[in-house]
Structure 1
Amino acid sequence: MQTPASLRIRISWPAGHLTATLDDSPTSQALAKALPLVSIARTWGEEVYFDTSLAVSRETGAQDVVEPGTVAFWTDGAGLALPYGPTPISQGDECRLASPCNVLGRLDGDPGLLATVRDGDPVRAELVDA
C-alpha cells in the first residue's frame, strides 16, 4: 500500500489513460481501498464521470467549480468526476460540477485527453505501483 502522500491512480479507457495524484483525505483513502474497479464512463459536457459504488460523506471544502484536471468525488452520485472543460451548467469556460464534490487531487498530464472517452466506454481505475 502506498503512503498517503504518494497515492497515485491510473484511469484507463479504450482510447487512452491518465494518472492522477490524490491528496490524503478520507474520500481518497476510501477510494484507494475500493480499487481496482471497472465501471462505465458517462460524459456530461466536458466532464467524464463513472460510478464507484462508494458511499462517502461530503467533506468540508467540497466545491462545485474546479479547475480542469481536478479529480473529484461526486457524493450525490457515488462517482468519480473528471472535468476537463465546461459542463452544461457552466458559466463561461469554468468547470462547474453538478453539485459540490470532494476534491481528491489532480490529473497528471493533459486533462484534454479525456475528450477521447465516449459515453458508455468501459473505464478502469487502479492504484499505480509506487
Structure 2
Amino acid sequence: MKIRILWPAGSVTATLRETPTSKALLAALPFQANAHTWGQEVYFRTPVSPELESDAQQVVEPGTVAFWTDGDSLALPFGPTPISRGDECRLAGPCNLLGTIDGDPSVLGSVREGAAIRVEAVD
C-alpha cells in the first residue's frame, strides 16, 4: 500500500503497513490539508478519526509515517521535535505506526507552515 504526499516544493511516497488506521486513511484518499511544522516534523489533519492502536509509540525513527489520534493528523517526523531528547524523533504523544517514507525523509524540511498538502493513492 503506497501513498504520495505532495506540497508546493516537493513530494514523497510512503509505504504503509496493513493496519486499521492505514486502511481508514486509504479509504479517505485523496484529501487536502494545510501543513503544520513542529521542529523537524510535518503534521496535518486528515478526514479520519481512528482509535489508538496497541503498538502506538511516541519515539520513532526518522521517516516514520505516524498517526496522531489526539489531533486526527498524520505526523511525519524527519528529525528532532521540541520535546526530543538528543537526536530522537519524539512525537507529541503515542501515535499509530502506519509505515515509512520511501527514500530520504529530510526532503520534508521544504514543507512550510500553512503549505497546501495533498495525499493521494499511488497506483
TM bucket, shorter chain:
over 0.9
> What amino acid does structure 2 have at the position aligned with 1:111?
P
Q: Give 1:54 shift.
A: 1.2
Q: Are 1:115 and 2:109 counterparts?
A: yes
Aligned length: 123
Equivalent position of 2:94 in the other structure: 100
Equivalent position of 1:61 in the other structure: 55
8 A contact 2:31–2:47 mirrored in 1: no
8 A contact 2:14–2:102 mirrored in 1: yes
1:21 to 15, 22, 39: 15
Q: Give 1:53 shift.
A: 2.8
Measure, in 1, the Cα distance between the counterparts of 2:47 and 2:20.
Answer: 16
Name the TM-score, length of structure 2 as normaliser: 0.99
Name the TM-score, length of structure 1 as normaliser: 0.94
Measure, in 1, the Cα distance between the counterparts of 2:47 and 2:92.
Answer: 18
Identity %: 63
Equivalent position of 1:4 in the other structure: none
- Where structure 2 has 5 or more consecutive residues not aligned to the other structure, the ranges are none
- Where structure 1 has 5 or more consecutive residues not aligned to the other structure, the ranges are 1-6
Equivalent position of 2:119 in the other structure: 125
> What amino acid does structure 1 have at the position aligned with 2:8?
P
8 A contact 2:46–2:74 mirrored in 1: yes
Equivalent position of 1:3 in the other structure: none
SS at match of 1:123: strand
Stretches of 4+ aligned residues off by more than 3 angstroms: none
The root-mean-square deviation of aligned C-alpha atoms, in Å, is: 0.4
